[in-house]
Structure formats: structure tokens, C-alpha cells
Amino acid sequence: MMKNTLKVVLALALTAGLSAGALAKDTIKIGWTAWSDAEFVTKLAAKILEDRMGYDVELIQTDIAPQYQGVANGDIDVMLMSWQPGTHADYVEKVCNDVVPLGILYTEAQLGWVVPNYIPEDELSSIEDLKKNEVKEKLDGTITGIDPGAGLTRLSKQAIEDYDLDYELQISSGAAMTAALKRAVDRNEWIVVTGWSPHWMFGAYDLRYLEDPKGVLGSYERVMAMARKGFYQDEIEAASFLSRMQIPLDDLQASMYDAQESSYEEAVDKYIENNGKRVDYWVTGEI
């Protein structure tokens, strides 16, 4: 009886000129934090899920800690920005029995403290150099950070302690950090910001990471999609798509820069248009 009903629905839809893929499916709830890479990747996934696969998508913007908790308790279906193994180690450890990894979205991600290249390297090349009085004076004793719940914020606090730095970590947001960086670059002023790759700021400005001889801020990371328990079984097409969705780091960084020059929506459309075969593979699994 159910099979006959489904056939009728399909027949009516096809008669109305709709493809089977355009039929409404369940709503996928995706958690994301207002970071540039997160916004591009999340909106790219949502666009493909809606336009190519017929899902409705609800984007839930929140800090990273409640995002992990939301996936663990089932309020959020997936999150696409799980930095592993170091940056989000604390969060992953807390929820590891209640979430399921779907796949790696990109590799060679990196955290660190970043300065404009016009700051002479012979004066400031390492975090250790921040102890110099003349360097601290030029930086006004401040490291410009991002949001309080970010793993990078936690690691930056640890770096200030481990390097015995008499600096204030100015906590704000990703947008405030990039605004402060732009102001400093426009005025040719000294600044240190907490940064990460991929990020559009590396395309917009000439920047470098400070050396981290103690390795407090970690090394290369992979960024993974994580799902609630049961999501794969409930939404196997969406889960399979997200498990195949992997973006080269250079592509991602270029698209993030495009988004700054236009909008994330336009950058997503441009990426899909220019990477048809890759997107086809993500959706179908066929090479």
C-alpha cells in the first residue's frame, strides 16, 4: 500500500515537471560558527543539499561549544568545523561517545599568531620576541583575539602563560579581529592577531605566522564533519554526500577571498559552477 502511495506521489511530481531529486525531503539542521571558512563551507553544503538533493536546510549559528553539545544531544544534525586532533580536543573528548565522524572536509589547517609582513623579521619573528620591551611597547601589550569559546582562544591563553608573556589577549570575534587587522595595515601599525588557515585575510594582506618554538598553538590540523548518532541511518544520502565533500585548501582560501569581494552566496555559486565534476562526485559518489 505504501509503495503504491509513493508511486502516485512520484507520478504527480513528474507530471508537474519536477525531478525526483527536487521532491521535498527532511530538514537537515547544520550548526555553524561565524568564521569565514565555516560560513563558506556551510553555505556550500546547504546550497547543494537544497538544490541538488531536495532537502530543506536550517542553519543554526552558535558558538562552537554549544554546537558540539547540540550535535551530541540531537538538536543539531551535523557540524562541519571540528578541528582535530588538537584545537577542539577538549570538546571532542566530552562528546566522543555521542557523535559520529562523517569525513574530512580539508587538511593542512593551521593555527597561530599572525603579523603583517611589514613588521621586520629581525625584530619580531617568534612568540619569544614578544618579551622584548620595545616590541611590547609597539604592540601596546595586546594580542588581538577572536571569540571566547574558540579553541584558538584557549590555546592563545595557554601560550601567554607558557611563554610568560605580560600581554592582554583582547577577546572579541572573528569579524572584530579582521577589522582591527585592516585598520593596522591601513595605518602601517604593528599588530599581532590570533589567526588560522584557511582564511581570506591571507589573500587580502601580506602576512606571516610567528614561530612557535614550544608548539603551544599546535601543528597542522584536519577539519571534519561530525553528525549526531543515527543521522547516517536516517539521512543516508545527505550523510554520504557530506562524507565525500572534501575541498582543496587553495580552493577554499580563494573562495573565501571571493566571498569578501562579493558575498558568500555569490562565491558558493561560482564554486559550484567552476567545479561541476567535483560536486557531481560529492552528490553521487560516481567518478
Q: Is residue 19 part of a domain?
A: no
Which pLDDT belongs to residue 149?
Answer: 83
Which residue, 45, 64, 63, 65, is CA-closest to 55?
A: 45
Q: Is residue 15 part of a domain?
A: no
Which pLDDT belongs to residue 214?
Answer: 94
Q: Is residue 99 part of a domain?
A: yes
Are 115 and 204 within one domain? Answer: yes
Phi-psi region of 68 (alpha: psi -120 to 50; beta: other; left: phi over 0): alpha
Q: Is residue 90 part of a domain?
A: yes
Which pLDDT belongs to residue 9?
Answer: 41
Q: Is residue 14 part of a domain?
A: no
Are 105 and 225 within one domain? Answer: yes
Query: 248 lies in which domain range?
Result: 28-109+221-277
Global pTM value: 0.75
Are 135 and 164 within one domain? Answer: yes
Please list the rounded mean pLDDT of every run of 10 residues in the chain (287 residues). Answer: 41 42 74 90 98 97 94 97 90 95 93 96 97 97 92 93 97 92 97 92 90 90 96 96 94 90 96 97 94
Which pLDDT belongs to residue 6?
Answer: 40
Are 56 and 86 within one domain? Answer: yes
Q: Is residue 271 part of a domain?
A: yes
Q: Is residue 287 part of a domain?
A: no
Which pLDDT belongs to residue 120?
Answer: 98
